[in-house]
Amino acid sequence: MGGGKRLIVGVLRAELALGGTRSLKDKRRIIQSLLDRARREFRVAAAEVELQESWRRAVLGFACVSSEGQHASQILSRVAAMIERESEVMLVEAATELL
């Protein structure tokens, strides 16, 4: 890579429990809202990456690109904090990795 700049990709894997959902439709409404909000507020790539057919659990993936690892970690920490504040889900596990 030219220019000597570092390219850091930060990845957050967030496993969620959805206690109040009664159907996949309920789950998809909640998950889509979270994904849209993360994209809008933090400018991250976001998707449901596992357990798509489970209506009680979800695994979401978030990614950001930065020139500094600390910046990428801060963004992903803010995404995790946003999820923790969401009343309709419980953050079961969160793992961040810098590539």
- Domain span holding position 38: 22-98
Q: Is residue 1 part of a domain?
A: no
Domain count within the chain: 1
**CATH code of the domain containing 35:** 3.30.70.1120
Asked if residue 7 is part of any domain, the answer here is no
Alpha-carbon Rg for the chain in angstroms:
14
Q: What is the average pLDDT across 40-46?
A: 97
Q: Is residue 26 part of a domain?
A: yes
Is the predicted pLDDT of residue 1 greater than 60, yes or no? no
Whether pLDDT at 2 is above 60: no
* 34, pLDDT greater than 90: yes
Asked if residue 39 is part of any domain, the answer here is yes
Q: Taking residues 83-95, what's their average pLDDT?
A: 94
> Is 94 domain-assigned?
yes
Q: Evaluate whether residue 53 is within a structural domain.
A: yes
Residues 32-51, mean pLDDT to the nearest whole number = 96
The larger pLDDT score, comparing residue 21 to residue 70, is at 70
In the chain, the percentage of residues whose pLDDT exceeds 70 is 96
